[in-house]
């Protein structure tokens, strides 16, 4: 994706979608993590963080990314707003 593509706000082409999916598959393959293992990691991350913070467990997303040949596990964990004390 090029910089000017961001400003045009066009839908990604089929080629771009296919390339993105291929990158995702290759990243998962290189990390040697099955979809089941990824789901188990997600559940465990939710369990641990929920002990300390209020989170929206239904919106947690855990994915792999690859940047400069480094594979990273990235978790997007939305926090719940703090409850008012009565």
How confident is the model over 26-84, as pLDDT tens digits?
A: 666 666 777 788 888 889 999 999 998 999 999 998 887 777 777 788 889 999 887 77
Upper half-sphere CA count for residue 38 (Cβ side, 13 Å) = 18
Q: How far apart are CA 10 and CA 30, in angstroms?
A: 31
CB of 76 closer than 8 Å to CB of 60: yes
End-to-end CA distance of the chain: 50
Q: Where are the domains of the chain?
A: 14-76
Hey, what are 16's tokens?
A: 């771009």
Total-model pTM: 0.56
């Amino acid at each position: 994706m090029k910089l000017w593509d961001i400003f045009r706000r066009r839908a990604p082409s089929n080629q771009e979608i296919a390339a993105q999916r291929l990158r995702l598959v290759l990243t998962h393959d290189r990390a040697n993590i099955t979809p089941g293992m990824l789901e188990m990691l997600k559940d465990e991350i939710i369990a641990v963080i929920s002990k300390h913070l209020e989170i929206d467990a239904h919106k947690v997303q855990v994915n792999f990314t690859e940047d400069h040949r480094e594979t990273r596990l990235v978790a997007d964990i939305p926090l719940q707003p703090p409850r008012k004390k009565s």
